[in-house]
Amino acid sequence: MSDKVLRGCLRKMAIEPAANVQLPVNYALRAGAQQLALNDKLGQPLTLEWRGAIACTHCGRATKKSFAQGYCYPCFKRLAQCDTCIMKPETCHFFQGTCREPEWAKQHCFQPHIVYLANSSGVKVGITRKTQMPTRWLDQGAIQALPILEVDTRQQAGFVEVLFKEQVSDRTNWRAMLKGEVEPLDLKAERDRLFNQLESGLNQLKAEHGDDAIRLLEASAHTFTYPVSDFPRKVVSHNFDKNPRVEGVLQGLKGQYLILDSGVINLRKFTGYEIEVS
């Protein structure tokens, strides 16, 4: 490896499924306009050094602190994609006339969304735009995923997710995910169990929004394998804010994490950080 492979502001890693589901997904580290294929770097030393600068991923201005994984404070306060309703879509306030960016919302929130079950550290429920499959699952390090419902809007997906959270988590235990402590599940059986337990709640949502607004899916389950040679026994996290130089032998890639023999780092957390990779 050359002394310097690339330099630029971090973006989340690009992850693409392999042509054969038996093969691991493909990773590329992205810094600025440059990319570094990572799968073939397993077993090799890797160094990432933060150069001290952070640039907003939306407007490009320099910022001393990153908000919401890559934004400067003005963009964080102004953009609809940084509003609290993105994390809690059931609190959408578009029809109250207070949406920060109505045109952005029409393009992103008023599009078909999928409610899914995934297995990244055990069964969980989640939502994503229909166009974001399978990217959303790969970013979470899921080894399995099953679309179960399709709805018309992000807010409707939020209402369904709140209902399912009565029975199943919407979070990933990232330490268990990184340790590889994940057993395959029968997601279709989990789906049927949840549909049975939540039947009355789903019927109520359909009565409120219309039968056609919440549609059952008969989809196949997706499975994913990640390029990991060694899972860590103990998860130790690197943090550019505490130590600008992260180095070690690359042992794996899962979710948006690099797994090094010296610890793990969530690269998405440091979106916008200017780094040098060698």
Q: What is the pLDDT of residues 125-147, one digit of tens each?
A: 999 999 999 999 999 999 999 99
Nearest to 220 by CA among 97, 116, 111, 86: 116
Q: Give the whole-number percent of the chain exceeding pLDDT 70.
A: 99
The CA dihedral of 226, 230, 235, 238, to the nearest 10 degrees, is: -80
**Residue 94 and residue 120 in one domain:** no
Residue 266: partners with Cβ closer than 8 Å, 6 or more residues away:
174, 237, 255, 256, 257
Residues 105 and 123 in one domain: no
Choosing from 208, 223, 238, the residue where a domain stops is: 223
Domain-ending residue, one of 223, 242, 259: 223
Range of the domain at 84: 79-110
How many folded domains does the chain comprise? 3
**pLDDT band per the 50, 70, 90 thresholds, residue 3:** low
Residue 231 has pLDDT above 50, yes or no: yes
Is the same domain home to 65 and 124?
no
Asked if residue 181 and residue 238 are part of one domain, the reply reads: no
Q: Are residues 134 and 157 in the same domain?
A: yes
**Same-domain pairing of 125 and 206:** yes
For residue 42, the model assigns a pLDDT of 98
pLDDT band at 29 (very low <50, low <70, confident <90, very high): very high
Range name among 3-17, 63-77, 84-98, 225-239 with the lowest pLDDT average: 3-17
Report the predicted TM-score, pTM, of the whole model to 2 decimal places: 0.94
Do the domain assignments include residue 1?
A: no
